Amino acid sequence: MPEIKQGVIFDLDGVIVDSAVFHYRAWKKLADELGISFNEQANEKLRGIPRRESLLALMGFNPGEDKILEYMDRKNTYYLEMVETIKTGDMLPGVDNLLVELKSGGFKLALASSSKNARLVLGKLGITTVFDAIVDGNETTKGKPDPELFLKAAHELGVLPSSCLVVEDAESGIAAGIAAGMHTIGVGNPQALARAECIVSRTAQIDSAMVIKVLSGDSHSGSDAG
Please report, as ranges, the residues that interact with Mg ion according to CB under 5 A. 11, 13-14, 169-170
- d(CA 15, CA 202) in angstroms, rounded, equals 8
Hey, is 133 helix, strand or coil? Answer: strand
Interaction between residue 28 and ligand G1P (CB under 6 A): no
Interaction between residue 177 and ligand G1P (CB under 6 A): no
- State the minimum distance, in angstroms, from the CB of residue 173 to ligand G1P: 8
Applying CB under 6 A, among 9, 10, 114, 198 the residue interacting with ligand G1P is 114
DSSP string across 56-70:
HHHHSS---HHHHHH
Interaction between residue 15 and ligand G1P (CB under 6 A): no
* Residue 117 touches which member of ligand G1P, Mg ion, none, C-beta under 5-8 Å by kind: ligand G1P
* Residue 115 touches which member of ligand G1P, Mg ion, none, C-beta under 5-8 Å by kind: ligand G1P
19 contacts: CB under 8 Å, gap ≥ 6: 12, 13, 82, 83, 86, 121
- State the minimum distance, in angstroms, from the CB of residue 216 to Mg ion: 25
Closest CA to 115 of 69, 48, 65: 48
DSSP 171: H
Q: Which C-beta is closer to ligand G1P: that of 42 or that of 210?
A: 42
- d(CA 163, CA 185) in angstroms, rounded, equals 14
- State the minimum distance, in angstroms, from the CB of residue 213 to ligand G1P: 27
Closest CA to 150 of 127, 133, 169, 125: 133
Applying CB under 6 A, among 6, 28, 30, 48 the residue interacting with ligand G1P is 48
Interaction between residue 119 and ligand G1P (CB under 6 A): no
Closest CA to 174 of 62, 49, 83: 49
Q: Which C-beta is closer to ligand G1P: that of 54 or that of 219?
A: 54
- d(CA 93, CA 72) in angstroms, rounded, equals 30
Interaction between residue 23 and ligand G1P (CB under 6 A): yes
Q: Which C-beta is closer to ligand G1P: that of 136 or that of 197?
A: 136
- State the minimum distance, in angstroms, from the CB of residue 138 to ligand G1P: 8
- d(CA 48, CA 122) in angstroms, rounded, equals 16
Which residues here bind ligand G1P, judged by CB under 6 A?
A: 13, 23, 46-51, 54, 76, 113-117, 137
